[in-house]
Structure formats: structure tokens, C-alpha cells
A and B are shown apart, each in its own frame.
Chain A
Amino acid sequence: MRLEYFQLIDRIVDLDLAERRISCEATVPSASTVFEGHFPGFPLMPGVLLIEAMAQTSGWLITAMNRFERMPFLASVKEAKMRTFVLPGYVLNIESKLVHEGSGYAVLDAKVKNNGKQVCDATITLRVMEFPNKELAGEMLKLAARVGLTPEAALNA
């Protein structure tokens, strides 16, 4: 995780477009300015960032399904549950599965595990739109490569 860049995903571990699911890995940094405020003397991964990690994981699935031609944006989060504390240094496995692909939107069930134990889960709705500009489309390609996703990989998933 690079919290300061809002990059919550380290790498894509598994992508299965036939089953319409994805699994990603992310390690909570051992130190971050975020933990200076959340909380002083008791550093905890903020729940909102865990939700963002689930949204980004879900987003990579939708990006791959759309062959990098469309961009997912977070629209809503339902039934979000933070089941236990997530501490600096934890290695997280983040999974998401498509529940429904609508016209211009997608609904996914996502969950985060640490050592096999579920730490949080939510239902995520993403708007799926044309890229608003070429710059973002290009940056998303770079970011995708960083987490191990290329258009070629998406085609073969």
C-alpha cells in the first residue's frame, strides 16, 4: 500500500473473468503519517481506507472486464462491516466478485481477509463510464501495470 498516493493495492493475485472475480494483496505499511492521527499511540488502518481497498480491487475487475476502455468510479457502499482491527504490517487479501453488471454500473461483493480471517466486507456499486480524458486513461494503464494487470493479461484472464 502507498497510502500517501491513495494506492491501496500492491498486486493482483488472481483474476478470473469467466467467474467474474478478482483477488488482490496489499500490505499495510508499518509506518505512515496516517497512523499519527489514527490513532496517536494506537495505530489502526482506517476503515474508510479498507473500504477504498475493496473499491479499488472491485475497480480493477471492472477495468479488466472492460478491456481498459471504461473507467469505474465509486458510487455507493452498502453493508460495510469492520469486523476487527487492522494493524500496521498486516498482509491483506482483498477479494471481489461481480454480483450484477448493469448498464453503466456494476455491483460487487467485496471482502478483506488477514491470515484467512475476514476483517471487513461490503457491497460496492461502481459507475462505469467512458474515461473523462486521455491523461487518466494513460495513467490507469501505468497504475495497472504496477499491480500486475495489462490489457494482454486481461484478455487472457
Chain B
Amino acid sequence: MSSTFETIANIIAETCDIPRDSITPESHAINDLGIDSLDFLDIAFAIDKAFGIKLPLEQWTQEVSDGKATTDQYFVLKNLAARIDELVAAKGA
């Protein structure tokens, strides 16, 4: 998880011009780091490329809208890293 977190933290720092040391595994991308949906598209693009996956953003957004999930599950960075690890593992299965 740690290397996945490091990768996404570096992507966020570079994409959104946020100081790297202010980004922690507990950071919420939206609530704590103030990343808006447009910036998150750039982040998603960079993550997709870096890990060779397709973050299911639409599915996640729908689940949050339907009350089936909280934004914390997907946008707290340690959780985002875990979701990415799952997607990478599923790709290789």
C-alpha cells in the first residue's frame, strides 16, 4: 500500500500544486486537499496511466449518490490506494 500511496501522493502534489508533505494517508482528497472534480480527472488520468488500470469513477460516484458508500471509502488516500491495489490485483488475476 505504501508505494501505491507514495505514487498517488506524488501525482496529486504535481497535478494540483499541493505541497507533498501536506498529503498523508489520512488526507481526504476533496475535504482536506480541496481537489475539485476537474483536477480529479487529471489525477485519475495519471493514476490510470501509472497503474495500467481504469479507476471506476462513475461507479464510485453513483454509489456515493445512492448512499451505498461514503466518499471516505474512495477519496481518503489510504483507501484510494487500497482500491487501486485491488484493481491492479484484479487485472493480473
Residues of A within 8 A of B (CB): 75-76, 100-105, 107, 125, 127
Instruction: Indicate if the CB atoms of A100 and B48 lie closer than 8 Å.
Output: yes
The residue that A102 contacts in the complex, of B38, B48, B61, with Cβ under 8 A, is: B48
Residues of B within 8 A of A (CB): 38, 41-42, 44-45, 48-49, 54-59, 61
A105 to B57, CA, bound (A): 9
A114 to B59, CA, bound (A): 42
Instruction: Indicate if the CB atoms of B55 and A103 lie closer than 8 Å.
Output: yes
The residue that A103 contacts in the complex, of B38, B49, B56, with Cβ under 8 A, is: B56
A75 to B45, CA, bound (A): 13
Mostly, the A contact residues are strand
Cross-chain pairs A/B with CB under 8 angstroms, 12 sampled:
A75-B38, A76-B42, A100-B45, A102-B44, A102-B48, A102-B54, A102-B57, A103-B44, A103-B59, A105-B41, A105-B44, A125-B42
Instruction: Indicate if the CB atoms of B41 and A125 lie closer than 8 Å.
Output: yes
